[in-house]
Amino acid sequence: MPPTDADTAPAHAPAPAHAPTSAPRTGSGCEDTLDLRIPTEILALLADESAAATARATAVSTLPYLAEADLLDSPAEWGPVPTVAGAFQLVPVRVDRDLALITRWMNDPEVAAFWELAGPEALTEAHLRAQLDGDGRSIPCLGTLDGAPMSYWEIYRADLDPLSRHYPARPHDTGLHLLIGNATDRGRGLGTLLLRAVADLVLDNRPRCARVVAEPDLANVPSVSAFLSSGFRYSAEIELPAKRAALMIRERALRTLL
């Protein structure tokens, strides 16, 4: 809060009604008043205290921002975690290292049918940069098994995403987008296995998050099936600008039951 004027010295108080009136001195050319001057040292102390108060107020006012500065609680620090397919880890994307690989995956016809990012590297780069240069509400990651990249993920704050306009979002809802990169890794249960692993990573590392959500295209039957098999429940059918989606939710309270 900005400093107030609470400590400003009051004006001279009026004389009491019955106070005697002093006669002017004779032989003096000056008025009979007191010269109240604050010493320079006191002024310096007051200035220092004012500056300190301003600094304290500024620090307090930024606390909510600092608490939310890492909107997703550092996915780079999650894992690796063991799975029956190998050690799985989310590795935040670096454009200089990962662009060519992700572009190749986006141009796979099975992926392109739902991600709609088939085309040159510039198209994929623009998609990645929109997240990497943003405020941290969405983080693109590679999913690796035993160190080898095999999937692409987007971990995002669903409650801060346009998706929140289409369902009753709760604070810290965390969303997932996923694609399996290589055709040889699809259709053998890896999607189910990794969705459960990543949902558990979110719930383990984001204590403020009570729900992990997703919105796969209803036409993407393998994806919807993988979410259902990994402990998500079908909540609703929602109409999004680019697709009709299945709203899938995994509740923290039910994670040991589903």
Give the pLDDT of the chain (258 residues) as one tens digit per residue. Answer: 444 444 444 444 444 444 444 434 434 444 444 454 556 655 555 555 554 444 434 333 333 333 345 999 999 999 899 999 999 999 999 999 999 999 999 999 999 999 999 999 999 999 999 999 999 999 999 999 999 999 999 999 999 999 999 999 999 999 999 999 999 999 999 999 999 999 999 999 999 999 999 999 999 999 999 999 999 999 999 999 999 999 999 999 998 887
List, as own/partner pairs, every contact residues 10-15 make where C-beta atoms lie below 8 angstroms and the sequence separation is at least 24, other chains included: none
Look at residue 45 in the predicted model and tell me its pLDDT.
Answer: 53
In contact, 169 and 238? CB cutoff 8 Å: no
The torsion angles phi and psi of 134, rounded to 5 degrees, stand at: -85, -160
Dihedral sign of CA atoms 131, 195, 146, 149 in order: negative
Look at residue 79 in the predicted model and tell me its pLDDT.
Answer: 87
Look at residue 44 in the predicted model and tell me its pLDDT.
Answer: 56
Cβ-based neighbours of 135, under 8 Å, separated by 6 or more: 71
Look at residue 144 in the predicted model and tell me its pLDDT.
Answer: 98
In contact, 92 and 75? CB cutoff 8 Å: yes
Look at residue 163 in the predicted model and tell me its pLDDT.
Answer: 98
Burial label for 231, CB within 10 Å (0-12, 13-18, 19+), is buried
